[in-house]
């Protein structure tokens, strides 16, 4: 299955480090005691086996159709350590441009992840708009179609840093259901990331599927 996952570089590095570290730290079992009888290693501190707590009615794997929309967006690149701050600044820059040009939003802010690796990711910070402006912007800010079509919707509640756990659960969901996702995913912010409490974000994750 080919799918670009936001957390995969982080999780891969973390899992490799844990496997190497735990293997080195675990003593060899006594000769008279089979390895399978050894107690399992404790989970790493703070490990969560499930996504952030959801509320009744929150979607997790709900099939939806993303409508055709026009968006104005700011292209950028950032590393994982400064991801949230970079996205917030991108939305502020984009909003200032839209206010100056008199472009009205037609929905919540969203981040479209276009490429990821172990160090960071490329993205489009975007706002949907009702109509194309008369004088389209140039440079890093542009106007174009938002992703549309069949997708799965997953809700995340909590901090941006805690999304690794949600994406791990999404990955497991896709694997369990043998679903093939496109190399693209979208975060749509029900709460404004620039003004909301960072520990109480509500983010809809959309995973376009083939």
SS3 48: coil
Angle at 62 between CA 64 and CA 162, to 5 degrees: 115
Residue 147: name the closest of 73, 47, 51 by CA. 73
Better pLDDT: 4 or 208: 208
**Residue 43 DSSP code:** P
Percent pLDDT > 90 in the chain is: 50
Examine the pLDDT at 42 and tell me if it is beyond 60. no
Give strand ranges (E) for the chain. 60-66, 70-79, 110-116, 120-129, 141-145, 149-158, 185-189, 201-208
Q: What is the pTM of this model?
A: 0.75
pLDDT of residue 52: 65
What is the mean pLDDT of the segment spanning 50-65?
A: 86
* Structural domains for the chain: 60-208 (3.20.80.10)
Q: For all residues of the chain together, what is the average pLDDT?
A: 79
Residue 184: name the closest of 152, 143, 158 by CA. 152
Q: How confident is the model at residue 133 (pLDDT cuts 50, 70, 90)?
A: confident
């Amino acid at each position: 299955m080919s799918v670009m996952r936001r957390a995969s570089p982080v999780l891969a590095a973390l899992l490799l480090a844990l496997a190497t570290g735990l293997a080195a730290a675990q003593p060899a079992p006594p000769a008279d005691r089979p390895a399978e009888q050894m107690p399992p290693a404790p989970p790493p501190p703070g490990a969560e086996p499930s996504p952030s707590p959801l509320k009744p009615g929150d979607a997790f794997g709900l099939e939806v159709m993303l409508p055709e929309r026009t968006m104005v967006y700011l292209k950028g690149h950032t590393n994982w350590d400064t991801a949230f701050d970079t996205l917030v600044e991108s939305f502020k820059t984009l909003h200032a441009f839209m206010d100056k040009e008199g472009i009205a939003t037609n929905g919540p802010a969203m981040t479209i992840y276009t490429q990821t690796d172990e160090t960071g990711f490329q993205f489009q910070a975007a706002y949907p708009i009702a109509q194309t402006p008369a004088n389209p912007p140039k440079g890093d800010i542009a106007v174009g179609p938002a992703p549309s079509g069949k997708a799965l919707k997953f809700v995340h509640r909590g901090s941006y840093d805690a999304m690794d756990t949600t994406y791990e659960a999404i990955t497991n969901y896709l694997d369990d259901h043998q679903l093939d996702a496109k190399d693209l995913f979208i975060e749509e912010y029900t709460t404004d990331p620039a003004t909301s409490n960072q520990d109480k974000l509500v983010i809809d994750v959309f995973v376009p599927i083939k």
